[in-house]
């Protein structure tokens, strides 16, 4: 087509930006020929969020390198994780009337700091319950390409935790899932017989105010970078070690605008870390995993993880207007669970309309009818799909076979394949990653 951008990945000795090692990219033209290679921020795809850029073959002067190091230092958090843990201990000892949280700085305040924040908006009388629910105290960071903190609704969070415990897992590596981590931590502190433990890996350093170094690691899932260095990496490695047969599962909910290949690379490194901790017998196994992502990324995920399959369960979010379970048509949540566990093990709630297909040996949504020709429950989006004899596969109910394109498409689509438009909505003028249907 019109060419594009290709990710070459993380290379040794890559320059650093405030988000860790940069990734190497290359632009390609319409003929697929590669242009000049360059480094860009791994976490921010918009230069407004992180302006780092460097050509691969660029000779950077000593003065520029020194200025960059200074810039990176200045863009790190004002407190270390350990300092934040100590501050939280002091904060908890304060009487309720002296517990304040600055909404502008997103920071717990000690009395000596009130004066400095006097012009800011703040919350008073922060309770212990609020400290145990930081995802509700903090403002969600909703830049969908960088942070995208669309937080699980209680329904989805409770379902995931029930599923994890029913499957016998006792340790959860929560990669970018702060609300699941929060629910596990809360239950562990309230219920004596609750045995599940969680370690949160997240790029949002604000959580270091509420969790110890054994409960949270500042982590960039786009370049597998632990901001806390070898000590944080060792914390993760120790957590993955299955002591006394405690089974581990990784649950991740990345930003939907993120690069799938960069995420897959990091997840494979976390899986390799898990494999290193295994004592014989499991060297050929994959670390169990739930990757939560929109269904239209299925082919991309399977490209990197062929053992994965997609479940029909619709994951919904508290702070996303479109991603809600139970709505109809395009208003349904497109977010699903991809897993390397055997599909028949994933029991979906019958009371929410899911049923077990004996032929496919998995739970499917009520609208996902089994196609006798495909011999599969083929729907991806919760609606009943129809079989096209000419395409030899099932397609969306709103699609019709186009003789010009020799495939099924929306009725009002443009037949010119060079301008096929967005993969999500079919309209021209934008790509899938910036589709307004996802915002």
Find out whether 329 and 383 touch, Cβ atoms under 8 Å: yes
State whether 63 and 158 are in the same domain: no
What is the spatial distance between Cα 198 and Cα 326, in angstroms, rounded to a whole number?
A: 29
315 inside domain = yes
Hey, CA dihedral for 413, 414, 415, 416, is it positive or negative? negative
396 inside domain = no
Q: What's the token pair of residue 413?
A: 């689509």
Find out whether 354 and 347 touch, Cβ atoms under 8 Å: no
State whether 32 and 49 are in the same domain: yes
State whether 115 and 234 are in the same domain: no
DSSP characters over 151-187: PBPHHHHHHHHHHHHHTTEEEEEEES-HHHHHHHHHH
Residue stretches of the chain with pLDDT short of 50: 1, 144-146, 280-281, 328-329, 418-419, 439
Q: What's the token pair of residue 217?
A: 């690691």
State whether 70 and 86 are in the same domain: no
Q: What percent of the chain is helix, strand and coil (3-state, nearest 5)?
A: 30, 25, 45
State whether 63 and 106 are in the same domain: no
pLDDT one-digit tens code per residue, 240-289: 986 777 899 999 999 988 899 999 999 999 999 998 876 544 566 889 99
DSSP 350: G
Residue 258: its pLDDT value, please?
Answer: 85
The 3 state secondary structure assigned to 181-237 is: HHHHHHHHHHCCCCCCEEEEEECCHHHHHCCCCCCEEEEECCCCEECCHHHHHHHHH
377 inside domain = no
Residue 18: its pLDDT value, please?
Answer: 95
What is the spatial distance between Cα 436 and Cα 425, in angstroms, rounded to a whole number?
A: 9
400 inside domain = no
In total, how many domains does the chain have? 3
State whether 13 and 86 are in the same domain: no
State whether 193 and 339 are in the same domain: yes
Q: Which helix (H) or strand (E) holds 300?
A: helix 298-304
Residue that is last in its domain, among 331, 366, 401 = 366
393 inside domain = no
Q: Which helix (H) or strand (E) holds 34?
A: strand 34-40
399 inside domain = no
State whether 311 and 167 are in the same domain: yes
Inter-axis angle of helices 260-277 and 229-240, to 10 degrees?
A: 70
State whether 328 and 356 are in the same domain: yes
Hey, CA dihedral for 269, 271, 275, 281, is it positive or negative? negative
Residue that is last in its domain, among 75, 90, 109 = 75
Residue keyed to tokens 């990197």? 304
420 inside domain = no
CATH of the domain at 262: 3.40.50
37 inside domain = yes
| Helix-then-strand count for the chain, H and E | 9, 25
Residue keyed to tokens 């290949």? 261
State whether 105 and 11 are in the same domain: no
What is the spatial distance between Cα 403 and Cα 426, in angstroms, rounded to a whole number?
A: 18
DSSP 118: T
pTM over 0.85: yes
Q: How far is CA 24 from the centre of its chain?
A: 21
State whether 332 and 200 are in the same domain: yes
Range of the domain at 211: 154-366
State whether 43 and 115 are in the same domain: no
Residue that is last in its domain, among 366, 393, 416 = 366
Q: What is the mean pLDDT of the chain?
A: 88
């Amino acid at each position: 087509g019109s060419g594009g951008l290709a990710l070459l990945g993380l290379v040794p000795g890559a320059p650093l930006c405030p988000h860790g090692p940069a990734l190497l990219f290359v632009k390609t033209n319409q003929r697929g020929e590669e242009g000049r290679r360059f480094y860009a921020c791994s976490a921010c795809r918009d230069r407004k969020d992180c302006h780092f850029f460097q050509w691969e073959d660029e000779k950077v002067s000593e003065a520029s390198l020194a200025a960059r190091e200074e810039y990176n230092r200045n863009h790190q958090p004002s407190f270390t994780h350990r300092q934040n843990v100590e501050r939280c201990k002091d904060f908890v000892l304060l009487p309720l009337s002296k517990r304040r949280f600055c909404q502008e700085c997103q920071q717990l305040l000690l009395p000596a700091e009130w004066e400095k924040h006097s012009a800011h908006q703040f919350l008073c009388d922060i309770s212990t319950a609020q400290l145990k629910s930081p995802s509700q105290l903090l403002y969600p960071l909703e830049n969908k390409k960088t942070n995208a903190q669309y937080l699980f609704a209680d329904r989805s969070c409770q379902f995931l935790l029930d599923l994890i415990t029913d499957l016998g897992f006792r340790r959860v590596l929560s990669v970018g899932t702060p609300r699941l981590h929060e629910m596990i931590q809360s239950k562990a502190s309230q219920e004596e017989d609750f045995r599940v433990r969680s370690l949160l890996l997240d790029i949002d350093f604000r959580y270091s105010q509420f969790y110890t170094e054994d409960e949270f690691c500042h982590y960039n899932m786009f370049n597998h970078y632990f901001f806390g260095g070898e000590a944080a990496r060792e914390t993760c490695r120790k957590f993955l070690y299955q002591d006394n047969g405690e089974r581990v599962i990784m649950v991740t909910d990345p930003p939907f605008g993120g690069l799938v290949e960069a995420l897959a690379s990091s997840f494979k490194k976390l899986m390799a870390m898990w494999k290193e901790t295994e004592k014989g017998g499991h060297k050929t196994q994959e670390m169990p995993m739930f990757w939560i992502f929109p269904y239209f990324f299925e082919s991309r995920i399977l490209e990197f993880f062929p053992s994965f399959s997609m479940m029909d369960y619709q994951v919904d979010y508290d702070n996303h207007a479109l991603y809600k379970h139970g709505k109809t048509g395009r208003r349904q949540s497109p977010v699903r669970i991809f897993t390397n566990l055997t599909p028949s093990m994933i029991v979906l709630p019958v009371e929410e309309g899911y049923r077990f297909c004996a032929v496919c040996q998995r739970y499917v949504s009520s609208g996902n009818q089994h196609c006798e020709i495909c011999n599969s429950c083929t729907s991806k989006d919760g609606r009943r799909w129809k079989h096209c004899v000419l395409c030899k596969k099932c397609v969306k109910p709103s699609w019709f076979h186009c003789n010009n394109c020799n495939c099924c498409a929306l009725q009002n689509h443009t037949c010119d394949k060079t301008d096929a438009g967005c993969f999500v909505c079919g309209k021209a003028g934008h790509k899938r990653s910036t589709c307004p249907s996802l915002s």
